[in-house]
């Protein structure tokens, strides 16, 4: 089997608290890879949302802060305005970014803050035990949609990458997946691209990573990856929804 | 520069923040404090600062949190409804031990209320206000001069204790104009903050957090915070006293009310009643000690507030049960007049016959 990557240097060598096989771990590696690739470990400040990935500072060998639930983009705004030359990124789940923090997400994007947002869409609230997320698919059972998500009661799953692509402040908006090695490689490129564009001062970069939360989906890890491919991708298509080619700001 | 200039309270406060070296302001409009963001939106860009009109007060306070975590002096200002939205962020700032200034030019409530002057947010300000076991440093100016001076003081205390500070004032102080002496403003260089997030160049990575899950960790953190609050109570209580030495009773009042009380005290003096005053300047830490000691000598206290009795609770906690205590309050935009206070003084005088 092809080794996709070894442990990046900006990841601390320690066991994570993630459920075995959780793609949060993969996403951490992708971010750390980009940090290493651009040699910016000592220039980077990370902001974690509240969710399964709240412990960013335990895993990344970088300066980091924990934001209140949903507020990571506002916290990152404050940091980036003080340190415009540093690399600032947020790492947020779907509950964090697309529910409680929707206003902060949209307005940070709309201001074109020169930061990178890493968005983990696993269609549930992982940390709190698998409740409905704004991205939960129609019909999907969660602990608060025991009969399946029903649009008449719960509305529809939000496509964040597409929505943010409509904003002038956004330089790059893409959706990638991590359900197999090939997709992970593509995701790696996307995360690198986002960091590169931040380094070039192009505006807000947004990478949505389709992720599996097999624990709360109540399936085996491999079935989780299969669900991403067969159920998530048809509703959340992969692709680049916006990519600024130069600093062609209005 | 010792020349006096005529300034509106809100502007004096904004100038005080700049004098303190604050170059980062994040806020969302609300009356009666709009002069502060309006003024800073014009001034900060001229001096290399940053002004952002945030999408909400939730975003404002979190931008302050982020800027503060990055090592600079940062602030926001608002009123009632907006301050309520900031409580989450302030709790996180207290938890991750981040300084920062929040100005509350109070308006009446609950709810949308109105823009009339009040002191109705005393509890919210002095009890922490958000979730968890913490306090804000709270300063209450009583003049336009103090709007300037205490803005600087608030940043100093906030940095000293790595804890959010609040200026609590009412619309009268925000809107009125008075002559002010501005200190030499160019020299304040905010302190270096080795704990700040700057990228880990040349040192180990560091982080700021509020989540403590392992056994006893959170309790230890809370006890550390408590030590800080105890130190504040010991080292940084601010108050003003007036005519306590030969008084027969004394008033406790803060902010605008203390100004009105001074007139009432003079009127009482003409009637032969000697009334002193203690004006808390720090509402947290509260000047418990001086009130306790004064009440031992002069066991008659009149508390006057523009609310239904909030600081009253702190005065009660400061004195013995045997002390004669009277409260006069006007909530919802009512302003106590000197005549109102004189009437209350007379009632105490006649009841006690001192
Ligand atoms: C104000 C507030 N409300 C609720 C919570 C509880 N809470 C913690 S994480 C979370 C949702 C996490 O879901 P998501 O953002 O999708 O992250 P995941 O764990 O799935 O990666 C919730 C509701 C909180 N911490 N703060
Ligand atoms: S609960 Fe889900 S998202 Fe959280 S660590 Fe486990 S698998 Fe990952
Ligand atoms: Mg989630």
Q: Which of A22, A27, A93 to mutate to test the pocket of ligand 1 (most atoms within 8 A of CB)?
A: A93
Please check whether residue A6 lies inside any domain of the structure.
no
Query: Among residues of chain A, what percentage have pLDDT more than 90?
Result: 94
Answer whether A42 sits within 8 Å of B210, measured CB to CB.
no
The CATH number of the domain holding residue A186 is 3.40.50.970
Query: Could you list the pLDDT tens digit for every one of the 250 residues in chain A?
Result: 455 557 899 999 999 999 988 999 999 999 999 999 999 999 999 999 999 999 999 999 999 999 999 999 999 999 999 999 999 999 999 999 999 999 999 999 999 999 999 999 999 999 999 999 999 999 999 999 999 999 999 999 999 999 999 999 999 999 999 999 999 999 999 999 999 999 999 999 999 999 999 999 999 999 999 999 999 999 999 999 999 998 877 6
Stretch (H or E) spanning B167? strand B164-170
pLDDT at A21: 86
Burial status of residue B334 (CB atoms within 10 A of its CB: 0-12, 13-18, 19 or more): middle
- The interface residues of chain B toward chain A in range 126-165, judged by CB-CB distance below 8 A, are none
Index of the ligand 2 atom closest to the CA of residue A122: 3
CATH at B8: 3.40.50.970
One domain, residues B26 and B80 = yes
Distance of CA B23 to the CA centre of its chain: 21
For residues B37 and B153, membership in a common domain is answered with yes
pLDDT of residue A4: 54
What pairs with residue A142 in β-bridges? A145
CA B22 to chain centre: 18
In a domain, A209, yes or no: yes
Please report the ipTM that was assigned to this predicted complex.
0.96
* Segments forming the whole domain that contains residue B288: 240-352
* Contact yes or no for B180/B16 (Cβ under 8 A): no
pLDDT below 50 — which residues of chain B?
none
A97 CA closest ligand 1 atom index: 15
Tell me what pLDDT residue B353 has: 63
What is the pLDDT at residue A90? Answer: 98
Q: What is the mean pLDDT of chain B?
A: 96
| Neighbouring residues of the ion ligand 3, judged by CB less than 5 Å | A 93-94, 122, 126
* Residue B251 and residue B114 share a domain: no
| H/E segment holding residue B19 | helix B9-19
CB contact under 8 A, B62 and A66: no
Say which DSSP state B114 is in: B
**In Å, how far is B17's CA from the nearest CA of chain A?**
17
Kindly determine whether residue B199 and residue A60, on different chains, have CB atoms separated by under 8 Å: no
Number of structural domains chain A divides into: 1
Token pair in block for residue B30? 């609300």
Starting from the CA of residue A50, give the closest ligand.
1
pLDDT tens-digit profile of B17-52? Answer: 999 999 999 999 999 999 999 999 999 999 999 999
Same domain, B166 and B32: yes
Residues B264 and B229 in one domain: no
Q: Which CATH number fits the domain that encloses residue B340?
A: 3.40.50.920
Q: How far is A27 from chain B (nearest CA, A)?
A: 20
Neighboring chain A residues of B101 at a CB cutoff of 8 Å: none
B24–A79 CB contact, under 8 Å: no
Place of tokens 């409905």: A132
In B191-338, the DSSP E strands lie at 207-208, 239-242, 249-252, 275-280, 282-284, 300-305, 324-329
The 3-class SS string of chain A reads CCCCCCCCCCECCCCCCCCCCCHHHHHHHHHHHHHHHCCCHHHEEEEECCCCCCCHHHHECCEEEECCCCCHHHHHHHHHHHCCCCEEEEEEEHHHHHHHCHHHHHHHHHCCCCCEEEEEECCEECCCCCEECCCCCECCCECCECCCECHHHHCCCCCHHHHHHCCCCEEEEEEEECCCHHHHHHHHHHHHHHHHHHHCCCCEEEEEEECCCHHHHCCCHHHHHHHHHHHHHHHCCCEEEEECCCCCCC
CB B11 within 8 A of CB B39: yes
Atom of ligand 2 nearest to the CA of A24: 8
CA of B199 from ligand 1 middle (Å) equals: 27
Q: Assess whether B161 and B281 both reside in one domain.
A: no
| Number of domains composing chain B | 2
Strand runs (DSSP E) across chain A, as ranges?
44-48, 63-66, 87-93, 116-121, 124-125, 131-132, 170-177, 204-210, 239-243
Q: pLDDT at position B351, please?
A: 84
State which residue of chain A sits closest to B87, comparing Cα positions.
Answer: A68
Handedness of CA B5, B6, B9, B14 (dihedral sign): negative
**Does any domain span residue A4?**
no
- Cβ of B199 within 8 Å of Cβ of A66? The answer is no
How far, in Å, CA of B303 to CA of B324, rounded? 11
**Positive or negative, the Cα torsion across B217, B219, B225, B228?**
negative
Are the C-beta atoms of B137 and B81 separated by less than 8 Å? no
Residues with Cβ within 8 Å of residue A152, at least 6 apart in sequence: none
Q: Nearest-CA distance from A197 to chain B in Å?
A: 19
Specify the long-range contacts of residues B126-131, CB closer than 8 Å, at least 24 apart. B126/B283, B126/B284, B126/B286, B126/B314, B128/B91, B128/B94, B129/B83, B129/B87, B129/B90, B129/B91, B130/B87, B130/B88, B130/B89, B130/B90, B130/B91, B130/B94, B131/B87, B131/B88, B131/B91
Model pLDDT, residue A1: 46
Is the domain of B160 the same as that of B261? no
Q: Are residues B218 and B259 in the same domain?
A: no
- Would A140 be classed as within a structural domain? yes
* Residue B218 shares a structural domain with residue B246: no
Per-residue pLDDT, B137:
98
Give the whole-angstrom CA distance, residue B268 versus residue B342: 6
């Amino acid at each position: 089997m092809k080794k996709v990557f070894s442990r990046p240097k900006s990841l601390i060598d320690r066991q994570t608290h993630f459920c075995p096989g959780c793609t949060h771990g993969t996403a951490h590696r992708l971010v750390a890879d980009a940090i290493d690739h651009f040699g910016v470990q000592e220039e980077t400040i990370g902001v974690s949302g509240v969710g399964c990935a709240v412990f960013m500072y335990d895993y990344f060998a970088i300066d980091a802060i924990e934001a209140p639930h949903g507020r990571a983009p506002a916290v990152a705004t404050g940091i980036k305005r003080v340190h415009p030359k540093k690399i600032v990124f947020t790492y947020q789940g779907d509950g964090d970014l697309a529910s409680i923090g929707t206003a902060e997400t949209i307005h940070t994007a709309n201001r074109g803050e020169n930061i990178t947002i890493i968005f983990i869409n696993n269609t549930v609230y992982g940390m709190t035990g698998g409740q409905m997320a704004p991205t939960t698919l129609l019909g999907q059972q969660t602990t608060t949609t025991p009969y399946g998500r029903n649009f008449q009661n719960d509305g529809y799953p939000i496509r964040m990458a597409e929505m943010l692509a409509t904003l002038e402040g956004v330089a790059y908006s893409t959706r990638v997946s991590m359900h197999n090695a090939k997709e992970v490689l593509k995701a790696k490129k996307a995360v690198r691209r986002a960091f590169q564009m931040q380094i070039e001062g192009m505006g807000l970069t947004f990478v949505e990573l389709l992720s599996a939360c097999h624990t709360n989906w109540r399936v085996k890890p491999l079935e989780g990856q299969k669900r991403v491919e067969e159920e998530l991708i048809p509703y959340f298509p992969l692709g680049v929804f916006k990519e600024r080619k130069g600093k062609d700001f209005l | 520069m010792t020349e006096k200039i005529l300034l509106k309270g809100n502007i004096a406060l904004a100038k005080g923040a700049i004098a303190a070296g604050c170059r980062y302001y994040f806020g969302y409009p609300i009356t009666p404090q709009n002069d502060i963001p309006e003024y800073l939106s014009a001034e900060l860009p001229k001096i290399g600062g940053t002004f952002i009109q945030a999408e909400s007060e939730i975003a404002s306070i979190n931008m302050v949190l982020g800027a503060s975590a990055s090592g600079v002096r940062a602030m926001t200002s608002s009123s009632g409804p907006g301050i309520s939205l900031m409580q989450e962020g302030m709790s996180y700032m207290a938890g991750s031990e981040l300084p920062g200034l929040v100005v509350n030019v109070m308006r009446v409530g609950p709810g949308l209320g109105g823009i009339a002057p009040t002191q109705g947010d005393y509890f919210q300000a002095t009890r922490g206000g958000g979730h968890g076991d913490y306090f804000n440093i709270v300063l209450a100016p009583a003049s336009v001069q103090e709007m300037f001076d205490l803005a600087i003081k608030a940043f100093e205390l906030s940095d000293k204790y790595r804890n959010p500070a609040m200026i609590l004032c009412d619309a009268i102080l925000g809107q009125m104009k008075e002559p002010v002496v501005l200190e030499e403003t160019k020299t304040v260089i905010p302190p270096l903050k080795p704990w700040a997030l700057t990228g880990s160049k040349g040192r180990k990575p560091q982080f700021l957090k509020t989540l403590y899950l392992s056994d006893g960790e959170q309790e230890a953190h809370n006890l550390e915070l408590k030590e800080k609050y105890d130190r504040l109570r010991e080292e940084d209580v601010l108050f003003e006293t007036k005519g306590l030495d030969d008084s027969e009773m004394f008033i406790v009042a803060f902010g605008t009310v203390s100004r009105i009380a001074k007139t009432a005290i003079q009127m009482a003096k003409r009637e032969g009643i000697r009334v002193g005053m203690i004006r808390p300047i720090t509402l947290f830490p509260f000047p418990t000690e001086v009130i306790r000691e004064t009440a031992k000598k002069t066991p008659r206290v009149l508390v006057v507030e523009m609310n239904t009795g909030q600081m009253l609770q702190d005065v009660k906690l400061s004195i013995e049960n045997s002390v004669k205590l009277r409260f006069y309050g006007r909530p919802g935009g009512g302003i106590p007049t000197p005549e109102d206070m004189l009437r209350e003084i007379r009632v105490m005088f006649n009841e006690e016959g001192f």
